[in-house]
Structure 1
Amino acid sequence: MNAVPQRDAYDVVVIGAGPAGLAATASASAAGLSTLLLDENPGPGGQVWRAIASTPVTARDQLGADYWAGAELVGEVRASKAEIIHRATVWSLDRHLEIGISVGGASAFVKARRVILATGALERPFPIPGWTLPGVMTAGAAQTMLKSSALVPDGRTVIAGQGPLLWLLAAQILRLGGRIDRILDTTERKNYLAALPHAFAFVTSPYFMKGLAMMREVKAKVPVTTGVTELTAAGEGQLAGVSYVAGNRRETIPADLLLLHQGVVPNVNLAMAAGVEHRWDELQLCWSPVINGDGGTSIEGIAIAGDGAGIGGANAAVVRGRIAARAAIEALAPAAAAKLTPMTALKAALAQAERGRAFLDTLFRPARQFRIPADDTIVCRCEEVTAKDIVDAVAIGATGPNQLKAYRRTGMGPCQGRLCGLTVTELMAQARGKTPQEIGYYRLRAPVKPITLAELAAMPKTDDDVKAVVRG
């Protein structure tokens, strides 16, 4: 592993060391292509296999077989000739395949003949009243602490929301001796009926038996309340309780920790900043890149693999990574491609890995009231902008997320819209009677991650750079 790139240009640059990025790196490097893998974390694995090379949780049954499945792929990449740089912030990507990287306080540009974005997923915003209180965090953040440091809650803990990760986290917390007082399931009852047409594919998929066993394991130890339609985190300066409504019952549970989760969505910021075309996915309720069967995008040379291309899970991400890499190999080293697994076989494997996904997407489609808040609920955490602020801005002329910046500065904080973007789009669409596609998303530009002015000033300057700002 290197601290800085060893060259100025590569055949393939892979961004993200989760399942898709690791698979793409292994395949491209094995075919003899010069390959650079960039990731902002201290080690490989992404969120799914986070800290797999360093976790203190060594009892394999505690994190589960799906977690440890990543160890072999990590070993394959580390044994390859690929350059690997961790703690690397990728803050720029343009249509000329030039990538801006910051490592250890210094920035540089590298060029690529092909770029594979494997930036993975983000947790969907869950903007309920009180979600900014200390003591409220996402399930993904809790899982990061669990995998990286074996930290589990020991105070009064409530987990609220829906989706596979919620149940996986609950099982992992319990296996490590952590405390969970209640699970509040926000899955809408109507979703069960809507998901029925996809039930056969799900029952015959790899997800079914694993998911069923995990839910049984958790329900044997933790009270679960289903049909939750309202949710509020309460407290003065610190979480003290969680109020909810289920059916005709309203209750407040004392709590020191509330973990929220209602699914994951593609992390699209870098791809959008590069100019890749995206569309609103009405099933997964998020922005997804427009890609072809090989992961190729609207920009020649940029492919997207894994959950950044649409949520499909770790197994699908690995196959998507290999498909994107194979397409790059076919373009850059056709002779090497002839010796690899045929693309038809990879696509058949992808179809199998994605089997049952439509059932999950339909069943765990989050309810409107948990996606589109009202009144004084904060939407943009960075700038403390409420739902009412946004609706009021629409009333006086804000037409979309980019115009809203001038009224309320939403999306202009350190997170660059990652925590509010989807909510802003849907809230404005509702207020204006438009579709999310018509409303659009933030116009994203480099740097897509915070870097210092000192880093930019210290970057090597070419004659063209100087002429761009000094005219005479």
Structure 2
Amino acid sequence: MSPGAPSGASPSTAPKRDQYDVVVIGAGPAGLAAAATTAEAGLSTLLLDENAGPGGQVWRAIASTPVKARDTLGTDFWAGAALVEAVAASGAEVIQRATVWSLDKSLDVGLSVAGGSTFVKAGRVILATGALERPFPIPGWTLPGVMTAGAAQTMLKSSGLVPDGKTVIAGQGPLLWLLAAQVLRLGGRIDRILDTTERKNWLAALPHAFAFLTSPYFAKGLAMMREVRAKVPVVSGVTELAAEGDGRLARVVYTAGGKRETVAAELLLLHQGVVPNVNLAMAAGIEHRWDDVQLCWSPVIDPTGATSVAGIAIAGDGAGIGGAGAAVFRGRIAARAAIEALAPDAAAKIEPMSGLQAALARATRGRAFLDTLFRPAKQFRIPSGDTIVCRCEEVTAKDILDSVAIGATGPNQLKAYRRTGMGPCQGRLCGLTVTELMAEARGKSPEEIGYYRLRAPVKPISLGELAALPKTEDSVKAVVRG
């Protein structure tokens, strides 16, 4: 069994069948909940995930982490163990280290595992691809020694690694404070926290304060911030930020309260929130809209998670950022909808949709306060000058503005000018920045500017993997005729 695979789950090999009632993509909170629910109802269920073990980002390495002290990672982390066990007992087929690189409107899922590729057919698909960190393009963010907070947390959960050199954490949002608390509990070093939350956001968030105070977020968040502030200097109201060094990070320069400061650093961890991971959904042709509250692209879904493409639902943070608790209920809601469509008799034996919807409403109470308070500042979303925007192709903000000046109208036209979004990340690290930068330059809304046009494969795969695809009679004839 590979490290992190749940006891009783299928090993990381090719799918055992060509067709499944339900294919769930992503083994985070939403995907685990969805797969357990559909499999327990008797539907043939395939759960695909690209990591070595289940859990997604929130519960990463939950079955294999060397960090065993339960208080270190927190009770919210260990809550995922029950869902991992439920999937293992449900009869769902689970494949880890599977790269899903294609999904079309016919519900054909293209995936690669163990060096080979194949397609499986689904009666229903539940996308639970989760979130990724919002780009944080500041001067010097590509220097060695600069990482995202999420990357640092992955190392902590997977290997128990924490910083031991001069470390600065910069940005805002719940994950920033959670990471800081976890690092400190494991004996790691944090020299300073630079909080980029805008002061005006506190006033804007006040109308949502009551819901937040009565939500599950409030007490946990307050305790965590007190824990961190008791051990680490925190600088609030940071309005400018840059990483500097000759070949690698040596110092962080910032401005707060109108005063410019420099702090020596060997490691800078950046974070300003998370956004839905939309690439696979967009490549499948699912309709998306620009969310002016969360400042990102979100899929257009109904209350059950159903999308504009028949048979495909989206659950979890991929449907809009709501946190792990909400993701679990979104996964169960999407699963129940699939059961109602494919096995109505089985649906009568599980929790009613009304109860699941009520639980989701409770889990998302207070979210508006967090979205408003931690709305990232414009200067940290829309860079200028020589700040790199597209890391894969090393395209700067100035390069993009110059392209707009000579006729580039949107992200897809920009590809022809600068190759932005054409590298290995397929726009994940630059897409939002490009949209907002071009929107501001052209005096249009992000909705009008649009996003990259995404096609399969949405993840890098080798020619050898493609060559390993099963050969159908029609495909062989097409090549011979050619």
Same fold (TM over 0.5): yes
How far apart, in 2, do the equivalents of 1:468 and 1:207 lie? 57
Note the aligned Cα RMSD (angstroms). Answer: 0.7
Counterpart in 2 of 1:404? Answer: 414
**Residue of 341, 345, 353 corresponding to 1:331:** 341
Q: Distance in 2 between matches of 1:311 and 1:395?
A: 34
Query: Deviations along 1:40-78, whole A, 9 cap, x unmatched?
Result: 000000000000000000000000000000001101101
After TM superposition, the structure 1 = structure 2 runs for residues 71-470 of structure 1, keeping only pairs within 5 Å, are 71-470=81-480
Q: Structure 2: which amino acid aligns with 1:196?
A: L
1:40 corresponding residue in structure 2: 50
**1:423-466 deviation line (CA, Å, top 9, x unaligned):** 00000000100000000000000000011111112211212223
Distance verdict in 2 for CA 1:468–1:399, change over 3 Å: farther
Question: Which whole-Å deviations, capped at 9, do the CAs of 1:113-132 have from their partners, x for residues lacking one?
Answer: 00000000000000000000
2: CA distance between counterparts of 1:466 and 1:440? 38
- Name the residue aligned to 2:40: 30
Deviation at 1:468, TM superposition (A): 4.0
Deviations, residues 378-424 of structure 1 (Å, cap 9, x unaligned): 00000000000000000000000000000000000000000000000
Deviation at 1:467, TM superposition (A): 4.1
- SS of equivalent to 1:215: helix
**Residues in 2 aligned to 1:77 and 1:163: alpha-carbon distance in whole angstroms:** 31
Q: CA deviation at 1:79?
A: 1.2
Deviations 1:189-235 (A, max 9, x none): 11000000000000000000000000000000000000000000000
Aligned AA for 1:148?
S
DSSP 3-state at the match of 1:287 = strand
SS in structure 2 at match of 1:283: coil
**1:241-299 Cα shifts (integer Å, max 9, x gaps):** 00000012110000000000000000000000000000000000000000000000000
Distance 2:464 2:112 in 1: 11
2:31 corresponds, among 21, 35, 42, to: 21
Normalising by the residue count of structure 2, what TM-score does the alignment of the two structures yield?
A: 0.97
Determine what percentage of the aligned residue pairs are the same residue: 82
Separation in 2 of the partners of 1:409 and 1:329?
43
Q: Which amino acid aligns with 1:245?
A: T
Q: Which stretches in structure 2 are left out of the alignment for 5+ residues?
A: 1-9
Cα deviation, residue 332, structure 1: 0.3
Distance 1:260 1:137 in 2: 6
String of CA shifts for 1:16-56, please: whole Å, max 9, x gaps: 00000000000000000000000000000000000000000
Write the distance in 2 (CA, Å) between the matches of 1:470 and 1:125.
Answer: 46
Once residues 171 and 217 of structure 2 are traced to their aligned partners in structure 1, the CA distance between those partners, rounded to angstroms, is 19
Q: Tell me the distance in 2 between the aligned counterparts of 1:241 and 1:225.
A: 16
- Residues 344, 149 of structure 1: CA spacing in aligned structure 2 closer, same or farther, 3 A cutoff? same
Equivalent AA in structure 2 for residue 412 of structure 1: M
Q: SS of the counterpart of 1:365? A: coil
1:320 offset after TM fit, Å?
0.1
* SS of residue matched to 1:79: helix
Amino acid at match of 1:380: C
Supply the distance in 1 between the matched residues of 2:193 and 2:354 (Cα, whole angstroms).
43
Bigger drift between 446-455 and 9-18 goes to 446-455
Letter in 2 for 1:60: R
Q: Distance in 2 between matches of 1:339 and 1:224?
A: 52
Cα drift, residue 470 of structure 1: 4.2
